[in-house]
Structure 1
Amino acid sequence: MSAQGSDVPDIVSAQWLKDRLADVKVLDASWYLPVHKRDAVEEFKASRLPGAQFFDLDAISDTSVDLPHMLPSEAAFAAAADALCINPDDTIVVYDRLGAFSSPRAWWTWHVFGHKRVAVLDGGLPAWVEAGSELESTPVASWRDVLAAVEAGTTGNLVDARPAGRWRGEAPEVRPGLASGHIPGSKNLPWDAVQSGGRFKPAEQLRAAFQGAGADLGRPLTLSCGSGTTACVLLLAARRAAPGARATVYDGSWSEWGGLPGVPVAKGAA
């Protein structure tokens, strides 16, 4: 059975998702009761379904009331959807790590705000693993990790995939309310510079692109962008350029950093 006006079932199997993984947006909506003594964010950083983003039920909520994860305002939800790069016409599959414990709440939330092509992964992450499908374990960096690197002066291998004008702070951000500029010490390699006609460039050209941007593929990389999406383009490019390259994606990217109060922001080409 599917939601009214949608050809997407409300509940999908691991095989259904596996067959359509390239065409859907996957969200990890794991949430735990205190008695579980588990940290959903840290578990997401350690492993997740391929391409998944984290949907934080507590953070994307009405924080003005003394009740847990109440529905957010329309504006707050729209900002969250924008940060996740999800449009009303996108197909979304939500899952959690307990089977179907917190993911139905996320499913309902997206439907409340008008998204009809939303499904829950039946059995969640355990069912995905039981079906023989792999998890993604690329490390995920938090803003605290990045701030620590800025304060230590070790962000020289942090590469930003946004267009050069946005990185320099000369062009406005696409999301309202964000500062303009870049993380101090970061380098800029626009994501489309590693592709040609929608395909990744040959390894030797990719190595030259990273080197030209001032990034060292022989050392651990941290990759950032506007919302954590095109940073993953650079991740794939780095692995083609240097198989086994060590890279971490800053999941919040500029959508988070540019909205944080008090964090340093640099402008210009330096």
Structure 2
Amino acid sequence: MKKIQWAAALVLASMVSFVQAITLPGPVVSADWLAANQSEVQILEVRGDVASYVRSPEFEVDKKTGKKMLVEVGGHISDSSLLDFKKVRADRMIDGKKIKYLIPEKADFEKIIQAVGVNSDKPIVLVPIGLDISDVDEALRAYWQFKVYGEDNIAVLDGGMAGWLAEGREFVVSPSTKTGGNWTAKAERKELIANSEQVASASKSGKVNLIDARQPAQFFGLSKRDYVGAYGHIAGAKELAPELLAKTSKGALYFWDKNTYNALLTANGINPKSPAISYCNSGHLAAGGWFVLSELVGNKSTKLYDGSLYLWTLEGRPLVGVPLN
């Protein structure tokens, strides 16, 4: 009888634990939701400017209204970890060539994430700085890599740290001491990664949306990054400029709703329901296009071209653009 009671107690305890486990509301969480569930998740701040993690934020007071306005993000949410965006991507060998900016091998990515103290037992909320779409895309690139390696219990904080500070929420400037996490990859979803041959096929056939996630000047070939070997865009691509991907409120960037994204995509000649490949210069801004289509619009037939135009032009593949003087 005692054995039966003991077994029943174990079952009950496990059921209570299951019921109490927090469920993320979707790929994006609000500051209100995070504040209410802060102890139930792991907060991972993704930053290229790692010094800002321990630097006090800067505010200005509007002389007319007396309101305090955020000028520069600093500090971080209590009990968060810091992920250096410069360490998120890696050099890898492709056809005997060392290629920069690529997703790390599975074992290497596990080490990166474990080193900052992330575990497998709680949901993960990624926090960008949130002032510029480029820093938002840092978190979205990390999100995509987590997804490639099977992590589904993950979301991004809408508004980022900028929104958190603009709302007057608490922050700290102490260094993170978290190390030795046990996070492990649960899968390797190669279907989320486009290679050069798939991009070339999409360019030729027109059956897959090629989405260029760069600024118009780069899309049309008026300017380029120094590591990209030619001017312009891949033939057949449609532009989805990064400045279209989020709205500004109190200095922070927030995502639009699904209907707005569907309208923006359609207005740019992109069918929201068709298979798609997002690219940019190196695979950083492309994460924004991928996130919008895959996670917010719900088009799961969306890939990211890792290496993007850096790899494309390194392979001697052509771009098209407007004539330059």
Structure 2 length normalisation: TM-score?
0.45
Greater shift in the superposed pair: 180-189 or 199-208 = 199-208
Q: Is the 8 A contact 2:203 2:237 kept in 1?
A: no
Aligned length: 172
Cα gap change, 1:264 to 1:131, in 2 (>3 Å) = closer
Cα gap change, 1:207 to 1:255, in 2 (>3 Å) = same
Residue type matched to 2:212 in 1?
D
Cα distance in structure 2, aligned partners of 1:99 and 1:247: 22
Q: Secondary structure at the match of 2:214?
A: coil
Q: Is the 8 A contact 1:159 1:188 kept in 2?
A: yes
Q: Name the structure where strand makes up a greater proportion of residues.
A: 2
Residue type matched to 1:235 in 2?
W
2:296 is equivalent to residue 267 of structure 1: no
- Residue aligning to 2:144: none
RMSD of Structure 2 on Structure 1 (CA): 3.8
Q: Is the 8 A contact 2:234 2:319 kept in 1?
A: yes
2:200 is equivalent to residue 147 of structure 1: yes
- Residue aligning to 2:241: 190
2:280 is equivalent to residue 225 of structure 1: yes
- Residue aligning to 2:92: 56
Structure 1 length normalisation: TM-score?
0.53
Deviation of 1:136 after TM superposition, in Å, equals 6.9
Cα gap change, 1:98 to 1:258, in 2 (>3 Å) = closer
Deviation by residue 1:150-176 (Cα, 9 ceiling, x = unmatched) = 33x22651100011111111x221225
2:107 is equivalent to residue 97 of structure 1: yes
- Residue aligning to 2:67: none
Q: Is the 8 A contact 1:156 1:186 kept in 2?
A: no
Q: Is the 8 A contact 1:155 1:184 kept in 2?
A: no
Alignment of 1:80-229 (within 5 A): 84=101, 97=107, 131=183, 137=189, 139-151=192-204, 153-154=205-206, 157-169=209-221, 171-176=222-227, 178-197=229-248, 198-229=253-284
Deviation of 1:183 after TM superposition, in Å, equals 0.5
2:74 is equivalent to residue 20 of structure 1: no
Q: Is the 8 A contact 2:218 2:232 kept in 1?
A: yes
Q: Secondary structure at the match of 1:223?
A: strand
**Which is higher, the Rg of structure 1 or of structure 2?**
2
1:236 is matched with which residue: 283, 286, 291?
A: 291
Q: Secondary structure at the match of 1:184?
A: coil
Q: Is the 8 A contact 2:278 2:302 kept in 1?
A: yes
Cα distance in structure 1, aligned partners of 2:187 and 2:243: 27
Unaligned 5+ segments in structure 1 are 1-6, 8-18, 28-52, 61-79, 86-93, 102-124
Cα gap change, 1:188 to 1:150, in 2 (>3 Å) = same
Unaligned 5+ segments in structure 2 are 1-50, 52-79, 112-148, 150-179
Deviation by residue 1:36-82 (Cα, 9 ceiling, x = unmatched) = xxxxxxxxxxxxxxxxx34215633xxxxxxxxxxxxxxxxxxx6xx
Cα distance in structure 2, aligned partners of 1:136 and 1:192: 31
Residue type matched to 1:180 in 2?
Y
